[in-house]
Amino acid sequence: MQLSTSFLAQVTPVEPSPVQAALTQLFPADNFVLLGVILALPLIGAFVNGVFGKRLGREAVTLMALSAVGLSFVASLVAFFMVSSARVGDELVRFQWTAWEWFRLSTAGDFSQTPLNVAFSLDALSAVMILVITGIGSLIHLYSSKYMEEDPGYYRFFTYLNLFIFSMLVLVLGDSLPILFVGWEGVGLCSYLLIGFWFDKSENASAGKKAFITNRIGDFGLLVAMGLLLYFVGALDWSGIESNKEALLAPVKLWPIGNEVPLARILPEDAGKWLNQPRYVSGATLVGLFLFLGCAGKSAQIPLYVWLPDAMAGPTPVSALIHAATMVTAGVYLMCRMAGVFVLSPTAMFVVALVGGFTALFAATIALVQNDIKKVLAYSTVSQLGYMFLGVGVGAFVAGFFHVLTHAFFKACLFLGAGSVIHAMHARIHDTDQSQDMRYMGGLRKFMPVTFLTFAAAWAAIVGFPLTSGFFSKDEILLKANTSFVAGTSVAQGDFTWPAWGHWVLWGLGAAAAILTAFYMTRLFIGIFFGEFRGWTIVRGYQAAVHGHADAGHGGHDDHADEHGHAHEQPGPDMQGPTPHESPWQMTLPLVVLGILSLAGGFLSAHLFHVHPLDDFLGPVFGDAVQRVKLIKGHETRTIPLVAFAVVAFLVGSLVAYWIYLQAKGEPARKLAAQFPRLHSLLIDKWRVDELYEETIIGAVDSLADMCVWFDKWVVDGILARLTTAIISLSGTALRQLQTGRLQTYAAAMVVGLAGVGWFLLTPRAAAHTSADHSSGRYEITAAPGFGYGYRWDSDGDGQWDAEDFGEQRTIAFSLQTEETRTIRLEVRNAFGRTAEREFTFSRPKPDKSGYVAAATGVGAENLKNAHEGVGMKQ
């Protein structure tokens, strides 16, 4: 509450304080260099740590990385308050900073060139995003400084992490799609590097590759969307797209390709007609769907979600920062950024909402049965991202973005809490899988009070405990899914109107997912913190005799399974170990901050209590887009029942889990699994989607690759390369024979060369340039100039030279009648008295149709000139 009121005070225009005035003077809106500062700091951090990190030592690396992100956070705060104070009324505030001019693109529509500058801009949307990125980023940097303490790749880790912050900032601050794309690829790269951070284990490396390749598919969509935008709109920067987006309503014929389908002729008439019927979509739908493909890749939506669960191979702070709080929400950010384009297409919006809803439910079902705590959280992230897309898909951009915010709080908190737990488990269990397996945990609330309390806060938020942040954001999305829709545009052809059942389907998906979420999160929560500790038998004063690192040796928590040589020791009652310990303050402080935010963050947009500073703040960004978003009739009456349902969903989900896992010690779950073994194993195997992809897409790509290999091996290598090589070698071998090493040969070659040059200069050449214009009958011959040359002509074709002496006249011109032919002779004599002769035969053809037309209209007469060079010429 406190936060939101102070926030409100900023939004209402007040007399600018001297500090504000000075800031505004220092950073004018059209040259907002502060963005450069925000961007540069993490980049400097990455550079210093990357280049010198090995020599700097742990403390210096920590200092560099933390201060880079921390200062960037401070600068972001300043920028944020400048944005919020600069606002007057409903005007959109956008601070711009152009770093340099990059290149120009010519667009298809007209030949004017679209400038592409390396420009950045800050508005309300990106201001909130940079706060999340640098703020949560700072917390996670702090956390990592302890978590990664013992890792040999410490400096490398922070280099990547800083580089990630930089790329993410570029993504968010970029003023155009290409710049956003640079950041988009940058975060993808960092994600790849960090997932495969412990690349010495092959599964980690392949998880990194999987993430990278899956994202490529999405990036393809984004690139296509950029091309389409350039084609339709002619601009790629935000204001350019915004001002000209109506052009996207132009219909695009998708089918049939060409005029008709050839197949239609052999089909019955009706079927053929149906097949040949032209089908249109609007440009906006195309752009929207391709953009969404990009978003689905980055934000792990069906069908491209498969990389995110595997991405948990990376260090846990990375999972928290990149794969929960920031990077994966880039897709939602992009949708919000392009809201104006998306709402032009009800089709695209419906697809987005539907995919989002399905993803939310689908991922939640998988999360029900996973035992790896990070896997549970990963599927939960996919599911929550689905919610966000459900929200933005129904046009509730603020609600969707609000969920980005609250999810960043509670999911980062959950991941960091999980990291803290894993950290504790590592005191004795060093195997990656086992240290993350909740079957070996339990009862940890006694040993790790801070982690427990913060985890509880985040749990409350995600399951939708009333008045927590997740409650408000999820509730708002479900409410909007049930009540709002995107109105069709009257202009666009092939338009699509949302079906009436759409609301119930979308809401039903979200609501079912909400119940499941409450269930699996409670299961996870109980599994970690309640019941008896199942990891090992706790022995007071336990000394790790074998490897002397009872407490300190948890470097590289998720990795190095076999390094310590006791991976063979099975966790369980047979194993002995020390008391699990709470993590140091560097790790608990971020947890506490995020825990508080998870609880209180909801009041940024608590419509239930009519407190919604976030909506006011973001309003201008979506002002235009939400015009097309309509609410169904009678939506007011649905608010209370839907809120009530949300509470019921939370209660049902969590109480059932409570009963099954705490009261009945998991017995009902085991029974259920035994009763439906196939369904259970299907869920455990994540619906076998990976296997499906393996068989279909990857299989197809593999066979294509095999074909290419064959072609490369036999055609390119075998024929082209070998043949070329053979030719070169043979000629080389032949020519090498001349290189005898004997001086005489060399000198002889020079003499031959000199003779050649001399012969060329000694030989006269009667070269000439002719021009003919058949329409007018004028012809001209110009002999090439030559030093010391004399020329004589036989211009009338009588076999006699015009003059016996060689003169200096190089050009002769003459006219011919129609169908007249004449032979001109030229003789040249060079300085050495040698002569050469050449004959030119000219004939003027009978004017054909085109010739007359050309001559009569005077068009093309110019073109005809010189076009017949050398006509009828013979030597």
- Looking at the Cβ atoms of 564 and 765, the one nearer to other proteins is 765
Q: Report how far residue 668's alpha carbon sits from residue 660's, in angstroms, rounded to the nearest whole number.
A: 6
- Looking at the Cβ atoms of 739 and 811, the one nearer to other proteins is 739
Q: Does 747 bind other proteins (CB under 8 A)?
A: yes
Cα→Cα distances 622→337, 399, 470, 840, Å: 9, 12, 22, 77
Write down how long the chain is.
875
E strand or H helix that includes residue 255: strand 251-255
Query: Closest separation between CB of residue 766 and other proteins, Å?
Result: 8
- Looking at the Cβ atoms of 676 and 832, the one nearer to other proteins is 832
- Looking at the Cβ atoms of 546 and 755, the one nearer to other proteins is 755
Q: Does 501 bind other proteins (CB under 8 A)?
A: no
Q: Does 767 bind other proteins (CB under 8 A)?
A: yes
Q: Does 733 bind other proteins (CB under 8 A)?
A: yes
Q: Does 739 bind other proteins (CB under 8 A)?
A: yes
For the record, the structure tokens of 88 come out as: 């007057």
Q: Does 875 bind other proteins (CB under 8 A)?
A: no
Query: Of 656, 682, 678, whose CA–CA distance to 669 is shortest?
Result: 656
Taking contact as CB under 8 A, which single stretch among the options 295-303, 539-547, 695-703, 728-736 is the one that binds other proteins? 728-736
For the record, the structure tokens of 566 come out as: 């006791």
Query: Closest separation between CB of residue 731 and other proteins, Å?
Result: 4
Q: Does 381 bind other proteins (CB under 8 A)?
A: no
Binding residue (CB under 8 A) for other proteins from 681, 745, 815, 841 = 745
Q: Does 565 bind other proteins (CB under 8 A)?
A: no
Task: Look at strands 821-829 and 835-843 and give their pairing.
Answer: antiparallel
Binding residue (CB under 8 A) for other proteins from 449, 572, 641, 756 = 756
Check if the beta carbon of residue 507 is closer than 8 Å to that of residue 384.
no
Q: Does 870 bind other proteins (CB under 8 A)?
A: no
Q: Does 535 bind other proteins (CB under 8 A)?
A: no
Q: Binding to other proteins (CB under 8 A): which residues in 771-790?
A: 784-789
- Looking at the Cβ atoms of 711 and 832, the one nearer to other proteins is 832
Question: Which stretches within 27-153 are classed as H helix?
Answer: 34-56, 58-86, 124-147
- Looking at the Cβ atoms of 700 and 752, the one nearer to other proteins is 752
Instruction: Show the binding pattern over residues 71-90: x = contacts other proteins (CB under 8 A), - = does not.
Output: --------------------
Q: Does 725 bind other proteins (CB under 8 A)?
A: yes
Q: Does 732 bind other proteins (CB under 8 A)?
A: yes
Torsion of CA 742, 744, 745, 749, to 10 degrees: 140
Edge-to-edge strand ranges of the sheet holding 821-829: 790-794, 821-829, 835-843, 873-874
Q: Does 723 bind other proteins (CB under 8 A)?
A: no
Taking contact as CB under 8 A, which single stretch among the options 219-227, 542-550, 664-672, 724-732 is the one that binds other proteins? 724-732
Query: Closest separation between CB of residue 868 and other proteins, Å?
Result: 18
Query: Closest separation between CB of residue 100 and other proteins, Å?
Result: 13
Binding residue (CB under 8 A) for other proteins from 573, 758, 845, 870 = 758
Binding residue (CB under 8 A) for other proteins from 672, 720, 749, 853 = 749
Distance of CA 574 to the CA centre of its chain: 49
Per DSSP, the residues of 306-338 read THHHHGGGS-HHHHHIIIIISGGGHHHHHHHHT
Q: Does 724 bind other proteins (CB under 8 A)?
A: yes
- Looking at the Cβ atoms of 261 and 836, the one nearer to other proteins is 836
Q: Report how far residue 728's alpha carbon sits from residue 752's, in angstroms, rounded to the nearest whole number.
A: 25
Q: Binding to other proteins (CB under 8 A): which residues in 794-813?
A: 808
Size of the site for other proteins (CB under 8 A): 40
Q: Report how far residue 474's alpha carbon sits from residue 391's, in angstroms, rounded to the nearest whole number.
A: 9
Query: Closest separation between CB of residue 119 and other proteins, Å?
Result: 22
Torsion of CA 746, 751, 756, 757, to 10 degrees: 110
Binding residue (CB under 8 A) for other proteins from 88, 257, 674, 738 = 738
Query: Closest separation between CB of residue 729 and other proteins, Å?
Result: 6
Query: Closest separation between CB of residue 207 and other proteins, Å?
Result: 28
DSSP state of 152: T
CA atoms within 13 A on the CB side of 539: 14
Q: Does 718 bind other proteins (CB under 8 A)?
A: no
Query: Closest separation between CB of residue 106 and other proteins, Å?
Result: 20
Query: Closest separation between CB of residue 732 and other proteins, Å?
Result: 3
Query: Closest separation between CB of residue 790 and other proteins, Å?
Result: 9
Query: Closest separation between CB of residue 873 and other proteins, Å?
Result: 14
Distance of CA 26 to the CA centre of its chain: 34
DSSP state of 622: H
For the record, the structure tokens of 229 come out as: 């935008």
Query: Closest separation between CB of residue 781 and other proteins, Å?
Result: 13
For the record, the structure tokens of 579 come out as: 């008391």
Query: Closest separation between CB of residue 233 and other proteins, Å?
Result: 31
Instruction: Show the binding pattern over residues 827-846: x = contacts other proteins (CB under 8 A), - = does not.
Output: ---xxx--------------
Does residue 165 sit in helix, strand or coil?
helix
Binding residue (CB under 8 A) for other proteins from 746, 796, 848, 850 = 746
- Looking at the Cβ atoms of 263 and 752, the one nearer to other proteins is 752
Check if the beta carbon of residue 558 is closer than 8 Å to that of residue 463.
no
Q: Does 434 bind other proteins (CB under 8 A)?
A: no
* CB under 8 A, 24+ apart: contacts of 817-822: 817/777, 817/844, 818/777, 818/844, 818/845, 818/846, 818/847, 819/843, 819/844, 819/845, 819/846, 820/844, 821/872, 822/796, 822/797
Handedness of CA 29, 34, 36, 42 (dihedral sign): negative
Torsion of CA 335, 339, 343, 345, to 10 degrees: -50
Q: Report how far residue 508's alpha carbon sits from residue 504's, in angstroms, rounded to the nearest whole number.
A: 6
- Looking at the Cβ atoms of 581 and 713, the one nearer to other proteins is 713
Percentages helix, strand, coil for the chain (3-state, rounded to 5) are: 60, 10, 25
Does residue 454 sit in helix, strand or coil?
helix
Query: Closest separation between CB of residue 527 and other proteins, Å?
Result: 49
Binding residue (CB under 8 A) for other proteins from 672, 761, 803, 867 = 761
Query: Closest separation between CB of residue 591 and other proteins, Å?
Result: 43
- The radius of gyration of the chain's CA atoms, rounded to the nearest angstrom, is 38
Q: Report how far residue 699's alpha carbon sits from residue 512's, in angstroms, rounded to the nearest whole number.
A: 34
Question: Which stretches within 530-666 are classed as H helix?
Answer: 585-600, 613-622, 639-657
- Looking at the Cβ atoms of 337 and 829, the one nearer to other proteins is 829
Check if the beta carbon of residue 248 is closer than 8 Å to that of residue 282.
yes
- Looking at the Cβ atoms of 698 and 762, the one nearer to other proteins is 762
Q: Does 750 bind other proteins (CB under 8 A)?
A: yes
Binding residue (CB under 8 A) for other proteins from 764, 822, 844, 851 = 764
For the record, the structure tokens of 716 come out as: 């390119």
- Looking at the Cβ atoms of 784 and 856, the one nearer to other proteins is 784
Binding residue (CB under 8 A) for other proteins from 757, 803, 856, 859 = 757
Instruction: Show the binding pattern over residues 15-54: x = contacts other proteins (CB under 8 A), - = does not.
Output: ----------------------------------------
For the record, the structure tokens of 272 come out as: 């053929």
N-to-C CA span, the chain: 100
Distance of CA 110 to the CA centre of its chain: 28
Which residues form the interface with other proteins (CB under 8 A)?
Answer: 724-725, 728-729, 731-733, 735-736, 738-739, 741, 743, 745-747, 749-750, 752-754, 756-758, 760-762, 764-765, 767, 784-789, 808, 830-832
